[in-house]
Amino acid sequence: MDGILLSKKIGIIGGGISGLVVGIFLAKEGHQVSIFEKKSLLSETSSKTTKLLHGGLRYLENFHIKEVQKGLNDRYWWLTNFPQHTNKIKILIPFKNIFSLELLKFYIGIKFYGFLAGKKRLGKSKLSIRKVLQDLNLYNDYKGHLSFFDGVMDDESLGKDLIHLAKELKINLYENNEVSNFDTYGNIDNKKFDKVILAVGPWTKILLEKNKVKSLKDIDYIKGSHLILNKKIHSGLMFKGICQSRYVFALPYKGYTLLGTTEVKVKSPDKPEIDSNEENYLIDSINQAFRDHVTRKDIISSYSGVRPLIRSKNDFHKSSRDFFIQQDSNLISIFGGKWTTSPSIARKIATIV
Ligand SMILES: Cc1cc2nc3c(=O)[nH]c(=O)nc-3n(C[C@H](O)[C@H](O)[C@H](O)COP(=O)(O)OP(=O)(O)OC[C@H]3O[C@@H](n4cnc5c(N)ncnc54)[C@H](O)[C@@H]3O)c2cc1C
């Protein structure tokens, strides 16, 4: 059989970042790929992110080390392959108390984050004491800051480039095409494929059960919301929200500030919307850090998405963002993951198709 390309017919349900990147990887391997998307490509969870390409510094707190490392490798993949839509960003973590366990924990965290990235590290992480963050206009009681580097993306232009690439690779893209039925034999509605990939983000468990396939994972639906504020900042900032247990990001975004996110358990992934508690939480949190207060009048827009977190013994705030692949004969289903780790999902699927 040497030299014969075993090209397979692949049907992908879902045109978010997972479906699109998996499709691109498989098409590059010579498979014939079709993607069926209910709405338009990349219009659901994949357009509702914090726009970070990251391993997730805060997941180190729960020792999700392999997951963080995967994210750091993929972060490098995005920055290397799509330099025109991605960038590195310096993120500051201001602190008020020099002699706190929290500071020590974060110092070890940023150093370990850099160590895990190895040669793919984006810059040196640092501790700066007594350095007043004047240009940021933070409250005076901050005694210094830690800083580290991560990746950011312009998801709109990056998304357009990915769709263009998919077209160049002759992937059949069917938008506004909701799939009603699929099975483990390779059928999607009335079409036959060698393999079917279910890449429907937060809808995986729901669609598996609707089509009488047992879901191996339980899912918690966790809504996350963001605000875009009419405020210009020059560095990324990560600071404690008013609940004191979660961290919030304020990132420079097209001349404004992107502020997020929240974690609210919801019953369904459909039509997530920011509620007034989340708005208050985000505004009160940023006002706790910055001297020039923002009000609701500064909100330019907002958006919400739902994370499908694989249920674990832990409280959902500590759940892993790692992905899981379920295989049932010719049906391959994707659970969880991040925008950043879609190349890892694609590499894994390419080995089992
Ligand atoms: C608040 C928030 C912040 C986040 N921030 C980041 C971040 O900064 N960095 C990062 O790396 N990740 C982040 N993530 C995670 C990231 O958004 C997701 O991992 C990623 O977008 C999931 O992509 P997906 O393709 O699996 O799902 P989706 O983007 O939801 O795509 C699934 C698609 O399936 C379609 N679909 C559903 N049912 C059907 C059907 N019956 N037929 C056809 N199509 C169907 C949907 O319309 C949808 O387009 C964040 C997530 C949230 C919620």
pLDDT mean across residues, the chain:
93
Dist. CA 346 → ligand 1 center (Å) = 15
Q: Alpha-carbon distance 94 to 175, whole Å?
A: 44
Inform me whether the pLDDT recorded for 350 exceeds 90: yes
d(CA 49, CA 85): 15
Give the whole-angstrom CA distance, residue 130 versus residue 153: 32
User: Half-sphere exposure of 232 toward its Cβ, with a 13 Å CA cutoff?
Assistant: 4
Q: Report the atom number in ligand 1 closest to the C-alpha of 178.
A: 42
* CA 31 to chain CA mean position, Å: 27
- Kindly provide the residue ranges of all beta strands, DSSP E only, lying in 175-253, ordered along the sequence: 187-188, 191-192, 195-198, 219-229, 236-240, 247-253
Q: Give DSSP secondary structure letters for 107-122.
A: HHHHHHHHHHHGGG--
The dihedral sign for the CA sequence 94, 250, 274, 54: negative
Q: Which residue's CA lies nearest to atom 47 of ligand 1?
A: 38
Q: Whose CA is nearest to atom 26 of ligand 1?
A: 201
Gap between the terminal Cα atoms of the chain: 18
Q: What angle do CA 339, 158, 332 make, to 5 degrees?
A: 40
Instruction: Give the CATH number of domain 1-51+154-218+313-353; options: 3.30.70.2860, 3.30.30.60, 3.40.50.1390, 3.50.50.60.
Output: 3.50.50.60
Give the closest residue to 198 by CA, choosing from 45, 327, 330, 332.
Answer: 332
Cα separation, 71 vs 242, in Å, equals: 28
| 86-95 and 236-240 strand pairing | parallel
> Using alpha carbons only, what angle is made at residue 137 by residues 136 and 142, rounded to the nearest 5 degrees?
90
- Nearest ligand 1 atom to the CA of 261 is 1
Distance 336 CA to ligand 1 centre (A): 9
- The pLDDT tens digits for 277-325 are 999 999 999 999 888 899 999 999 999 999 999 887 777 767 778 899 9
| Ligand 1 centroid to residue 51 C-alpha, Å | 12
Q: How far, in Å, is the centroid of ligand 1 from the Cα of 27?
A: 21
Domain segments of the chain as ranges: 1-51+154-218+313-353
d(CA 324, CA 327): 10
Distance (Å) from CA 98 to ligand 1 centroid: 39
Ligand 1 center from residue 338 Cα (angstroms): 8
For ligand 1, the distance from its centroid to the CA atom of residue 43, given in whole angstroms, is 8
Q: Is the pLDDT assigned to residue 6 strictly greater than 90?
A: no
pLDDT digits (tens, 9 = 90+) for 182-211: 999 999 999 999 999 999 999 999 999 999
Which atom of ligand 1 is closest in space to residue 39's alpha carbon? 47
Protein residue closest via CA to atom 19 of ligand 1: 338
Q: Give the pLDDT mean for 231-252.
A: 89
Distance separating alpha carbons of residues 217 and 312, to the nearest angstrom: 9
| pLDDT tier, 59 (very low <50, low <70, confident <90, very high otherwise) | confident
Which atom in ligand 1 lies closest to the alpha carbon of residue 20?
25
> Who contacts 25 (Cβ-Cβ below 8 Å, separation ≥6)?
343, 346, 347, 349, 350
Give the pocket of ligand 1 (CB within 6 Å): 13-19, 36-39, 43-46, 48-52, 178-179, 199-203, 207, 224, 261, 305-307, 337-340
Q: Output the residue whose Cα is nearest ligand 1's atom 6.
A: 49
Amino acid identity, position 43: S
Q: Residue 332's pLDDT is what?
A: 98
Residue 126 has pLDDT above 60, yes or no: yes
Extract long-range pairs of 62-69: CB within 8 Å, 24+ residues apart: 62/314, 62/318, 62/320, 64/320, 64/321, 64/322, 65/116, 66/322, 67/320, 67/321, 67/322, 67/341, 68/113, 68/116, 69/116
Question: Which of 22, 39, 44 is the best mutation target for the ligand 1 pocket, counting ligand atoms within 8 Å of the beta carbon and taking the most?
Answer: 44
96 alpha-carbon distance from chain centroid: 29
Query: Residue holding tokens 């247990």?
Result: 245
